[in-house]
Amino acid sequence: MGKLYLVPTPIGNLEDMTYRSVRILNEVDAILCEDTRTSSRLLQHYGIQKRLISHHQHNEHKAVEKVIEHLQNGETIALITDAGTPGISDPGFLLTRACAEADIEVETLPGATAFVPALVNSGLPCDKFCFEGFLPHKKGRHTRLTQLAEEERTIVFYESTHRIVKSLSQMAEYFGAERKASVSRELTKMHEETVRGTLTELAQYYTDHISKGEFVVVVGGKE
């Protein structure tokens, strides 16, 4: 029986790859990845030459059965994503569940993920929090925001460049204009920034300052 490794990759700064992750990627028989072009650059940086297999949100349902077959035949396989830890708003859950059901060993390595540094750096309570990831784009968005308005723990969201202003504005509407929050952008990269304030202030800030990149929004819980 083979083994599946879930291997985190840097969210921006290539120095955030661990020694153990590099070793595992050098040892496995094959590497599953979201985008072979993105992963090729990372592997080339560390001198890793392995067979890459495309495994992303559009094909993972069909691909899982084949991967399980390879693992049952004794292969060792690593799953990486474009950035961060597999399974956190990225492919990984379906394959991990299938391995558990087939009694295939899964080993998850610790490593980079965007929401942890954003949460710790927010200045908001982080002893108790809930991770929401991306809000629904349309269906269910109103319902989810209404439910989260009553959440007393700190809430962590992911958001994109094109929706950051809309999301902050809606959060101010549903959670309260004066609710404290923090927005981190481009974590670990050259133009990393964290802006803190009320939801209204942050919505205005990103209206006035057009910023690109991946965003982590941390919102204080209801008092």
Answer whether 133's CB lies under 8 Å from 157's CB. yes
- As given in the structure block, the two tokens for residue 158 are 């992911």
Q: CA–CA separation, 121 vs 218, rounded Å?
A: 10
The β-bridge partners of 196 are 182
Which helix or strand (DSSP H or E) is residue 213 part of?
Answer: none
The answer to whether the predicted template modeling score (pTM) of the entire model surpasses 0.85 is yes
Domains of the chain: 3-108 (3.40.1010.10), 115-219 (3.30.950.10)
Unique residue bearing structure tokens 């009694």: 103
Tens-digit pLDDT string for the chain (223 aa): 899 999 999 999 999 999 999 999 999 999 999 999 999 999 999 999 999 999 988 888 888 999 999 999 999 999 999 999 999 988 999 999 999 999 999 999 999 999 999 999 999 999 999 999 999 998 999 999 999 999 999 999 999 999 999 999 999 999 999 999 999 999 999 999 999 999 999 999 999 998 888 999 999 999 9
* Cβ neighbours of 201 (radius 10 Å): 17
